[in-house]
Amino acid sequence: MPAKPVDFKERNVRRGIRAASKENLIVSEVEIEPDGTIRIHTVPPGKQSQDDELDKWLGEHPDAGQAQGH
């Protein structure tokens, strides 16, 4: 049996993104579930991206990015 098409409206995604932008949030990702659920992930104000957390951690753990005997 073929999968049922996702039931969501593009205008609802646009509204969510616009609302986040008005709150000075940076949209980092939009997820649309098979049931039509829309999730908008944001980065708090003042943060450039989610990669900042990884960069910070890697800076604190300089040996973390090196291969170990492979």
- CA of 35: how far to CAs of 1, 3, 21, 32, 66, in Å? 16, 11, 25, 8, 41
Answer yes or no: pTM beyond 0.85.
Answer: no
Residue 36, SS3 per DSSP: coil
pLDDT classification of 30: cutoffs 50, 70, 90: very high
Domain boundaries, the chain: 10-60
Q: Greater confidence, 63 or 30?
A: 30
pLDDT at 9: 87
Q: How many CA atoms lie within 13 A of 70 on its CB side?
A: 4
